[in-house]
Amino acid sequence: MEKVDLKRILKKVEKPARYLGNEINAVHKDTSNPELVRYAHCFPDLYEVGMSHLGSHILYDVINKEEGVFCERVYAPQVDMEEKMRENNIPLFGLESRESIRHFDIVAFTLQYELCYTNILNMLDLAGIPLLKEDRKEGDPFVLVGGSCAYNSEPMTDFIDAALLGEGEEMNIEVINEYKAWKKSGEPREKFLERIAKIEGVYVPSFYDVEYNEDQTVKSVTPNRECANPHPRKRIIRDMNKVEYPERFIVPYIDTVHDRIVLEIFRGCTRGCRFCQAGMIYRPIREKNFARLKEILEKLIKTTGYDEISLVSLSTSDYSQLAELTDYLVEEYASKNVGISLPSLRLDNFSMEIANKIQKVRKSGLTFAPEAGSQRLRDVINKGITEEDLTRASRQAFEMGWNNIKLYFMIGLPTETYDDLDGISDLAYEVVDIYKDVHNGKFKGKFNVTVSTSTFVPKPFTPFQWNPQDMKSSVVEKQRHLVRKLKNRNITYNYHDSDTSLMEAVFARGDRRLGKVLLRAHELGAKFDGWDEHFDLEIWKQAMEECGLDISFYAHRTRELDEVFPWDHIDVGVSKKFLIREAKKALNEEITPDCRKGCNGCGINVHDIGRGLC
C-alpha cells in the first residue's frame, strides 16, 4: 500500500499533531508482509476524545501483541482536515502507517455514543469503503462495531457486518484468528461471517429477520440460518487479574480530554440505578486485586511520564481495597509529585479521610451526583443516597478546605414533578448555607457550587426502557424554571441541549428501519452530531420525514410491558423479567438494595452459571 502524503496539508489545519501517529509508545510494524492482517481500530470522534477512551488503549495493546496482526488507530478528522483531504484526494488512513484503510482487512468502530453514528458513515465515505454492507465485495474490509451502543446496533445494521457484544480482549483475537483461517481457505465473503457467528459475543445482524406489527412495533426477530444463535450473548472476561492490560499508554503531543494514567480497578456495578445502562450491561462486578494494580501502575509510571493517576470504574468508591490502594499511592508517589484523582464518587460511602490523603499533592475538585432533587425521586431511580449523605460530605469537604463542589442531576426522569425540580435548588442553597456555617457566616475566597443537569434518555436494558422522554417544550420549561430558582452569585447552573438528547433517545431505542434515516442525514451533511456547534435538528427532522418515520414514535412513546423490543433477542445477562420487576418497583418508589448485600435475582447468575462470577 502507498502512504498518503500529508506534508502539503498539515500546515493548513488546526492541531496537525492529531494526524501524525508517531507519539511515544505508538506501535509500528513492517507493512510489506502480504500475510499481515491489517486491523483499523476506529473511534468516530476527534483524536482528543478517542485518545481518552480506555477501551481503545486496551484493544490496541492486546491486538498488537498478536503475531501477524497490525492494529492501527483511526479518528474522525476535524472539519478543516476533512476538507483538505477531500480537496487533495487523500483517503482516511491509519495513523501509524499512513496507509489507506480502504485496503485493510478489518475496520472496527467503537460505539460509545449514538450521535457518533453519522461520523461512522462519513469516515467510511472518506475511506472509499462502500457504506452499505450489501455493496461490499470480495476484497473489501469487514466492518465491525463494539462498545456499549453495540448492544442495540439495529440502527446500524445496513452498514455493519457484525457487532461484538461485551468485553473484547479475547473476542477480538478469536475473530482475527477466524479471519486468518478464512483467508487461507479461499471461501466467499459470507463464510467468514458464518465462522465468527459461532463465537460467543459475535452478532451478525444480516443472519436475523425482523417482522413488524401493524402498529409499527417489532413482532419478532428470528435467525435465518443455522449458525446464528437465537439469543447472542455478551462476552465476559472472567478473571480481571489475568486479562491483558497496557503496560504503556500512547502519550499524545497535544492535550486530550483525559491526559493522565488511567488505572481500571474493577468492572461492573452492583448499585442498580434504574436509569443507568452501564450498571446493567457491565454486570457482574469483577475487581482487580491490589497486587495486580501495583504491578500495572509501576510499569505505566515508567513508560509514560504522566504526573496524575486516575482510578477508574463505574463506582470507584465501591472498590473493596480502596483505602489500602490510596495509602500506597500517596506513600509511593506523593513525594514524586504524582497526583491522584477519584472520579465517580458516591455520597453514601464517600470518605473524606481518603479525599484528604489524595489532595496532598494537588487539590482537585469534588463532584457528586445526587441525580434527583427529592428523596422520593431518588428512591424511584434507586439511587440509594439521602440528603443527609450530601450535607455530611459537603460539610466535611468545606472543613478540610474545599471551596468548590459540582452537583450533577437529571431532569425528565420518570414521575418527576416540579417539587422534585425545586429540590435541586434547595440542595444547592443548602450546600451554600453549609459553607457559610463552616466559615462563620462568611465566604472565604472564591466559593462556588456548580449545578449541572442533563436530560433523561431512556436506554435499552434498563428498567426505564419503557418510559418516554420528555417533550422538548417540557424540558425547556424545566430548564428555565431552574435558571430562575438558581440565581445566586455563588451558584453556577449549566444544562445540556435538549435537541441532542432527543436524537440520542431516538437511536438508543431505535430499530433497523432507522438505517435509511442515518444514510439520508449523512447525505444532508450531518456529522459530529455530539457537538452542539455541528448538530442540526432540522436535518434529522427532514431525514425522518423523508423516510416516513416519526421521532415521537421512538422518543416520546410509552412502551407496553409486553412489547417486543428491537434488542430483546440479545442476551446481556440481566433478564427482562428483572427489568420489569424493577420498573414496577420504581412506580411504587421502592428501593432495591446493593447486590453486594444479597442477590436480587437479575439473571446474571443464570447467564454465567458455572463461572462463579457473581
pLDDT number for residue 357: 75
pLDDT of residue 363: 65
pLDDT at residue 345 in the model? 67
**pLDDT > 70: percent of the chain:** 97
> Span 598-604, mean pLDDT?
92
Using one digit for the tens of pLDDT, what is the confidence trace for 378-435?
A: 999 999 999 999 999 899 888 888 888 999 999 999 999 999 999 999 999 999 999 9
Rounded Cα gap, residues 529 and 153, in angstroms: 18
Is residue 351 over pLDDT 80?
Answer: no
Highest-confidence range of 1-15, 318-332, 435-449, 546-560, by mean pLDDT?
A: 546-560
The mean pLDDT of 512-517, rounded to a whole number, is 98
pLDDT at residue 347 is higher than 90: no
- Report the C-alpha gap between 503 and 472 in whole angstroms: 11
Fill in the DSSP letter of residue 591. -
Closest CA to 381 of 367, 393, 366, 369: 369
Contact 38, 106 (CB under 8 A): yes
- Exposure on the CB side of residue 399, measured as CA atoms within 13 A: 10
**Could you write out the DSSP letters of every residue in 518-543?**
HHHHHHTT---TTSTTT--HHHHHHH
Tell me 77's DSSP state.
Answer: P
Residue type, 606: V
Q: Do 370 and 407 touch, CB atoms closer than 8 A?
A: yes
| Residue 335 pLDDT exceeds 70 | yes
Which residue type is seen at 32? Answer: S
φ/ψ (deg, to 5) at 267: -120, 155
Across 91-105, average pLDDT = 97
Lowest mean pLDDT among 191-200, 330-339, 563-572: 330-339
Alpha-carbon torsion (516, 519, 525, 528), positive or negative: positive
What pLDDT, on a 0 to 100 scale, did the predictor assign at position 221?
98
Compute the distance between CA of residue 165 and CA of residue 294 in angstroms, rounded to an integer: 30
- Tens of pLDDT, residue by residue over 182-193, are 999 999 999 999
pTM, rounded to two decimals = 0.95
pLDDT at position 360 over 80: no
Class of the CATH-defined domain 261-496+573-597: alpha beta
Provide the CATH topology of domain 7-223: Rossmann fold (3.40.50)
Across 331-347, average pLDDT: 81
Same topology, domains 7-223 and 261-496+573-597? Answer is no
C-alpha grid cell, residue 574: 440481566
Which pLDDT belongs to residue 614?
58
Q: What digits encode the pLDDT tens for the residues 23-36?
A: 999 999 999 999 99
Domain regions of the chain by residue span: 7-223, 261-496+573-597
**Least confident stretch, 68-72, 243-247, 332-336:** 332-336
In one-letter notation, the amino acid at residue 9 is: I
- pLDDT for 13 beyond 90: yes
| pLDDT above 60 for 589 | yes
Residue type, 554: Y
Q: Quick one: cell of 353?
A: 479521610
